[in-house]
Structure 1
Amino acid sequence: MKTITITDVAKHAKVSKSTVSQYLNKRYEYMSEKTRKKIEETIEELNYQPNIIARSLKQKSTFTVGVVVANILHTFSTQIIRAIENYFYKQGFHIIVCNADDNPEKEKNYIEMLRAKQVDGIIIFPTGDNLDLYKRMKSDQFPIVFMDRTIEELNIATVMLDNHLASKLAVDRFVERGYEKIAIITTSIIHNISPRIERIQGYKDTLVSHGIQFNADYIKTVNAEEIPNALSEFFELKNPPQAILAGNDIVLNEILRFMKKHDMNIPEDVAVIGIDEVPYANFYTPTITTVNQPAIEMANQAAELLLSQINKTGKKDTSVHRLKPNLLSRNSC
């Protein structure tokens, strides 16, 4: 059976090859609605399948981008991936998603694999421990955008939350409700993960702004499997916390499991606020107050920055873009 080519489509639709090419690249502004409809019908009638390899060679692009997430278990990560995929699909690109599990070696292997596959650019939630690799990518002028985490000395375009404000919104709410013994627990900061460090600093600064001295015993940074022990230590204190800020959704999950296991009531025994909206927050009993990240807006901005680098349009942006969170008030505080 003969392979249908772009020439066949053009001939059948009675248009030029360049017009069909513009259609395939979704440059519809170069043709009338009648021409666009005719090409669409011809492609369907002839069952034409574009030669992606030939297209890539001609345009020196694979029309593929990589996304390397630090931990795909985070609700925020899946929201970001979904929005990035949607953005690039509309641009005629595919995405390859890799999960680094906060493991620098795994991250390094994935980045090298993606570059070997000649992706056009990569959005990375950086582990922070591959500085030489990031520098080499920058030196090669390879399109790269950091998401969620920053390494400021590298001057790589970054999209992330205003983490200081995220903690402030939570602590302000606790104080408004009369709580002063306020704790925070995050996953490990051993790799200097910037959002976790910034959220702790925001927590400290906001307590001080309310005239409350922060207590080192009320601050925990541990691996996910150690969270139950850290919570036990909180409640074994002579003056246990009245309220707990969960640094991310994984921490919040562990707190809720711990409370249920120990028959503790929220907010009567301890008030809870989580940074990161979670799907069950508005139907859990009680409903959970969260600080929400604008994930779709963040993903779209990162995708726009990357596409601009790929297309070499405008002045290269190497700044850190911080988007504002908002408090979703419910019944856990």
Structure 2
Amino acid sequence: MNKVTMADVAKVAGVSKSTVSQYLNKRYEYMGEKTKLKIEEAIEELGYQPNFIARSLKQKRTSMVGIIVANITHFFSTEISRAIEDFCHTHDLHAIFCNADDDPEKEKNYIEMLRAKQVDGLIIFPTGQNNDLYKKMVSQGYPVVFVDRKVENLDVFSVITDNAHATSMAVQHVIEKGHRNIAFVVQPLKVSPRIDRLTGYKKALTDAGIEINSDYIIEASIPDMKNKLEQLFSLEVKPTALFAANDRVFMAVGEFLKEKGIKLGKDLELIVFDNIPFSHLLDSPISFIEQPAAEMGKKAAELLFQQINKEDTPPEVFVFPSRIV
């Protein structure tokens, strides 16, 4: 079968090629409903598929954007990604999602691959370890937005939450309930949210006049976390409250506590910094720091869209407040 062209559609609909082009690009300002209907019926009858490659060459845009997520297993990342995709869908953009697994080499490969595919811009949850590549994109004026994690010494659009302040407020809350032996459990301190949350934890203790005990600060990968928790709960003076720095830490801590028969609300108070989709199903009294993921995702998409459309706005860091639930 011969490939159906725009000229074929125009002939069947009884209109010009430029009118079909306007229809395909959704420029309906001077187009009557009858004309739109004739073009729509012609496209349906002929099975016409627009040539997006040719159109992107003409418009110098592909209408595709890349989203590189640091680790898609975090529910917070999934929520943000959904909000970005929703925005793209309503603005005729196609979103390509990549999962970097917190691996800087994988992230680098995805950035280079997506740019080679001529995507119009990138939204990145950065590993923080490809600074030269980040700087190159910014210096070239390439549309890019960073989400969730800060990159130091780089003037770029960023969307983050108030990690240090929210953590400090949450720890202060359990101090006011009478706790003084409060543990902090986190994955390796390689990215800004984890570092900022530890800063907030230390600030709350210092402000309350509580000495910071390094034995109560557990920094470990998820596979190594159980051994570290064994050491923590083998201390002579055990913690009465524990701060889990994200949802994956929460899962590891939860498995350990269940195995050891440690009861939440009775033996230990738990605070988790992250959005947990099943929190309403839990019987145990747990406090969560909930981030406004949908709002953050929408803002990131808006900022990228503005850059793609050449809106001259200076880069800014947008900080969204979290709330304790």
Q: TM-score, normalised by structure 1?
A: 0.90
> Residue 122 of structure 2 aligns with which residue?
122
Deviation at 1:245, TM superposition (A): 0.9
Name the counterpart of 2:132: 132
Kept in 1, the 8 Å contact 2:264–2:285? The answer is no
1:274 alignment partner, SS class: strand
Amino acid aligned to 2:97: V
RMSD between superposed Cα atoms in Å: 2.0
Q: CA deviation at 1:30?
A: 5.4
Gaps of 5+ in 2: none
Which residue identity does 1:245 align to in structure 2?
F
CA distance change for structure 1 residues 9 and 181 in 2, over 3 Å: closer, same or farther?
same
- Are residue 62 (structure 1) and residue 59 (structure 2) matched? no
Q: Tell me if 1:170 matches 2:167.
A: no
The farther-off stretch of 178-187 and 15-24 is 15-24
**What corresponds to 2:294 in structure 1?**
296
- Cα gap change, 1:30 to 1:104, in 2 (>3 Å): farther
TM-fit CA distance, 1:13: 4.0
* Cross-structure match for 1:331: none
**Residue 222 of structure 2, aligned match among 208, 214, 224:** 224
Cα-to-partner distance string for 1:113-165 (whole Å, 9 max, x where unaligned): 11111111111111111111111112222111111111131111111111112
How far did residue 6 of structure 1 move? 2.7
Deviates more, 1:152-161 or 1:284-293: 284-293
Verify the 8 A CA contact 1:273 1:290 in the aligned structure 2.
yes
Q: CA separation of 1:241/1:122 partners in 2, compared to 1, >3 Å: closer, same or farther?
A: same
TM-score by length of 2: 0.92
Secondary structure of 2:183 counterpart:
strand
Deviation of the 1:43 alpha carbon: 3.0
State the secondary structure of the residue aligned to 1:175: helix
Q: Which whole-Å deviations, capped at 9, do the CAs of 1:169-204 have from their partners, x for residues lacking one?
A: 321331243322211111101x3x111111111111
- Match runs of 1:150-169 below 5 Å: 150-169=150-169
Q: Secondary structure at the match of 1:68?
A: strand
Whether the aligned pair in 2 keeps the contact of 1:102 and 1:127 (CA below 8 Å) is yes
Unaligned runs of 5+ in 1: 329-333
Q: Point out 4+ residue stretches in structure 1 off by more than 6 angstroms.
A: none
2:313 counterpart of 1:324 = no
Distance in 2 (CA, whole Å) between partners of 1:195 and 1:86 is 25
Which of 204, 211, 214 is matched with 2:212 structurally?
214
Percent identity reads 51
Check 1:87–1:30 CA distance in 2 against 1; reply closer, same or farther (3 A cut). Answer: farther
Report how far residue 283 of structure 1 moved: 0.7
Indicate if the aligned counterparts of 1:159 and 1:320 stay in contact, CA closer than 8 A: yes
Q: 2:263 aligns with which of 256, 260, 265?
A: 265
Cα offset for 1:223? Answer: 1.0
For 1:147, the aligned partner's letter is: V
Q: Deviations over 1:251-284 (max 9, x none)?
A: 0011111111111111111111111111221112
Check the 8 A contact 2:125/2:147 in 1, yes or no: yes
Contact 1:157 1:319 in 2 (8 A): yes
Aligned pair count? 325
Question: Displacement, 1:303?
Answer: 0.9
Residue 111 of structure 1 is matched in structure 2 by 111
Q: CA deviation at 1:16?
A: 4.6
Q: What does residue 234 of structure 2 align with?
A: 236
Change (3 A) 1:269 1:63: same
SS at match of 2:279: coil
